[in-house]
A = this chain, B = another copy of it.
Amino acid sequence: MVKPQKLEAVRAVIQRTGYVPNLLAGGLASKKSRLVAAIVPTIGNSIFAEAIERFTDRLGDAGYKVMLGLSGYPADKEEALLEAVLSRKPDAIFLTGINHSQVTRSRLLAAKVPVVETWDFTPTPIDMLVGFSNEKLGRSVALYLYDKGYRRFGMVWASDERAKVRQGAFLAALSERGINDVRISTVTAPGNFKKGRAGIAQLLDEGPSVEAVFCSSDVLAHGVMTEVQARGMSIPSDLAVIGFGDLEFAPYTFPALSTVHIDRSQIGLRAAEMVLARIEGRETEKVVDIGFSVVEREST
């Protein structure tokens, strides 16, 4: 609402002086920091990295920057992180998982800041949610393997908060079918190639033979398959392996690796859209289940 000439003059001065608006001051005055916080256990794992990348991209296009918070495995630093994050007055917060301490929940509620929880599912999130049911997922894998005729199961498992839920559901579903002797090799999170090799080695060395192994992630599954092949066993005839998370090249290196596919980009993107809608006062769904799908790869 200014005259074109004046606008032009202002533009010129901005150019000449190299003026950059101070968004800290702007944020203080307007109570909109244009900063969004994202808290994930790690970005070293491409499963989170991809979601964060989409989230950051989408929000960046809308003029927001994301502050990164790494909560670690286990997420013991979440509470401290949250304090540091809240004091920067973010316009929204991206959280990993749905298991947050009571302190965290009430702080979040008190701050009245839009929150998206991710990577898991509950009908009653703190605020909003985009994810999938780890519970359902665990059961689905159990049924999938059971229906294929397998009866002797093993797990190579790196147990973070959400993997624990998948594990519980997997075991419960099998238990309902009379199977209670699942052999479990637990490794520390995050899982990696070496731990996968070591984990399955342990299962293979001690005790009765296992027909099918469920791995908490595809990097872990990758290690498992390498070890299995190194022992001259073939997959899936000697041992069936199913992973989680769809590590891009794993199925090529090991054509027999089944996996559970999650659209991780979708998590970041939907989360960004929901957050933007809330910030801008638009209507938005509060809970989105992006689901999962079991990808079968039995032969080359």
Q: Which residues of B contact A68 (CB under 8 A)?
A: 38, 52, 56, 65-68
Complex copy number for this chain: 2
| Smallest CB separation, A191 vs chain B (Å) | 11
CB distance from A280 to the nearest CB of B (A): 18
A46 at the interface (CB under 8 A from B): yes
Known: A18-B107, A23-B88, A60-B84. A44 touches B44 (CB 8 A): no
Greatest chain B CB density within 10 A among A21, A44, A52, A69 is at A44
Contact A226 B252 (CB under 8 A): yes
Contact with B along A216-234 (1 / 0, CB 8 A): 0001001100100000000
| A63 B84 Cβ-Cβ under 8 A | yes
List chain B residues, Cβ under 8 A from A43.
Answer: 43, 49, 52-53
Q: Does A27 contact B (CB under 8 A)?
A: yes
- List of B residues within 8 angstroms of A197 by Cβ: 252
Query: Do most interface residues of chain A lie in helix, strand or loop, or is the interface mixed?
Result: helix
Using a CB-CB cutoff of 8 Å, which residues 189-209 of chain A contact chain B? Answer: 192-194, 197
* Cβ < 8 Å to B, chain A residues 135-177: none
A42 located at the interface, meaning its Cβ lies under 8 Å from any Cβ of chain B in the complex: yes
What is the minimal beta-carbon distance from A39 to any residue of chain B, in angstroms?
11
Is A57 engaged at the interface, CB distance under 8 Å to the other chain?
yes
Considering the complex of A and B, which 6 residue pairs feature the smallest CB-CB distances, nearest first? A193-B249, A23-B87, A43-B49, A65-B67, A24-B27, A24-B28
